[in-house]
Each structure stands twice: as structure tokens, then as C-alpha cells.
Amino acid sequence: MRRLITLALGLSLGAACHGQSVPDPVADYAEFHALGRDPIYKLEVDLNNDGKPEILLDTKANAQEAAAPEGDRVDPNIRFFSVYIAQPDGATYVKSRGIDEGQGIVNGMVAEIDISHYFVGFIDEWQTFGGVTAITSTSDDGTSHRRLVAYRVVADHLVSGTLAQYRADARNALYDKYFSRTEPLDVKEVSVPSPSPTLSPTLPKVGASPDISKSQTTPTPPAASSTASSTPATSSTPTPSSEQNSMPLAMKVMLGLVSTIVVVFVALTFMKRRGRPR
């Protein structure tokens, strides 16, 4: 269930907010998910080896998830991270618009990572830098399977691929290579930053009379100077507000949800066609 919800949110997120320059990923993530003061898991890893770590964020499991029945309980080590890709200036980030699973289509998904099994560095099979994680799942018959999934950064999104898939109780050479000496990830728990206080304009005291002498005094022109002023003149032309230049977030989310429904419908239709006998 959580994976389906994550898919829907991921598709909406990719459709609504991709390609945006973000100065504060934590504040941006909290605003989009309407978290208030809820804690957030934060992970900093340099996926593309450019010296500027990417920021991965996920919400902390709430009390309802922690108290769920054992069969429905979420593994606390499995996190669904939204990825913010560091830009060359080292001060801003671009919110990843999703994951390309090798088909050339960015699907809007977020990265599923087991923080107890995660390697960051050079991936021999891809001949590039990235991250490798091991995801363990249990089928309906009770058999545990493990997938080794790799991620790498490409422009404004991630590319993922499965390096190996096998029974979890079996030995695997790639698993031993990437996780035999992997150190635990430094996952931090951070709080949503408080909004900066807004300054209210200074109003005149009730009953105070205006200073007519100052309002009627003709200003004296400044004396001529041989040196030009270094302060640029400001234009009086009003600039449109951000609300006029950008689509409201609610509308973006609605468009994302519509795209989610279309993608799920197409996927179900494709699966039904594949299941028909030829």
C-alpha cells in the first residue's frame, strides 16, 4: 500500500515540481508534503562524485505505521527518498523529476533505498559513480527475494537498474563485493525550519497629527559630485508577483494526479494485453 501511495505522490511530484531550483531542500520538501513540525530523515551522499553531495529526504514513520500489524508494518530501514541534485554553484539544488528505469522514460518515482544496505562509489558494472542498495521482499509463498538496485544521476533525474536478483538465503558475489565492507549511512533527523518573522509596517500613533512642516518642505537638490555614485538606480516599474508568474501548487498537484491516473491506466491495459494467450 505504501508503495502505491509513493508511486502516486512521486508521479504528482514529478509532474508538478520538476526542474525547479531549490535553495533549501528541507523547507521545500516540508512545504510540498505539508509536514508542519514533523521530523524528516535527511541523507547526504555524493552520487556523481562532483564533490557536492546530493540531499535525500523522507518522512519519519509515524505512530500509526509503527503500531501497524506485523504483516503490514513498514521496514524502518526501507526509505523512499526524494532526491535533490546539487548544482555546480554548490548553493542550490534541483528536485529530481523521477527515475528512468532504463526505458528512456522518467516515471516520477522516488528512490527506494535500504539504509542498512547502501553503497556509494564507483559501480564497476556501469563504469560510473552512483549508489547500490539491496532491497529484500517476501512473496506470497513466504520466499524472500533480494534485488541489488543501482542509481546514478543524469542531469535532472536518476537512472536505475537491477544488477542482480536472487533468493535472499543464497550467496551472491555482487552482494559480497558492495556490502561486505560498507559503513552505516549517516542518516540525520532534522526538523522543519521555522518561517522567518515578517516585519509589520510602522503605523502612526492614534491621535498624532502629521508633521506638516516636513511634508511641505521642498527638498534641497544634492550638490554635484565629480565622482559618479556606485549605487544603481532602481526602476519604479512594478514587477509581477510570483503568483502571477507560476501556476499555483494545488493546480500542479491536480495535473500530477491526472497524469498518475493516465499512467496507471496505460500500465494496467498493457499488463492485461500481455496476459492474453496468443
pLDDT in tens, the chain (278 residues): 444 444 444 444 444 455 678 999 999 999 988 887 778 999 999 999 999 999 999 987 665 665 666 555 567 889 999 999 999 988 899 999 999 998 999 998 999 999 999 999 999 999 999 999 999 999 989 899 999 999 999 999 999 999 999 999 999 999 999 998 767 778 888 877 666 554 444 444 444 444 444 444 445 555 444 443 444 444 444 444 443 444 555 566 566 666 667 656 655 655 555 444 44
Enter the C-alpha cell of residue 202: 510602522
Q: What contacts 39, CB < 8 A, 6 or more positions away?
A: 60, 189, 190, 191
First to last CA, the chain: 32
Within a domain: 31:
yes
**Cα 241 vs. chain centroid, distance in angstroms?**
25
- Asked if 122 contacts 65 with a C-beta cutoff of 8 angstroms, the reply is no
Within a domain: 227:
no
**Distance separating alpha carbons of residues 241 and 161, to the nearest angstrom:** 42
- Asked if 86 contacts 54 with a C-beta cutoff of 8 angstroms, the reply is yes
Within a domain: 8:
no
Within a domain: 186:
yes
Which residue segment(s) compose the domain that 40 sits in? Answer: 13-193+259-275
Within a domain: 114:
yes
Enter the C-alpha cell of residue 134: 539491496
Within a domain: 111:
yes
**Distance separating alpha carbons of residues 150 and 183, to the nearest angstrom:** 17
Within a domain: 189:
yes
Number of folded domains that form the chain? 1
Within a domain: 203:
no
**Predicted local confidence at residue 50, as pLDDT:** 95
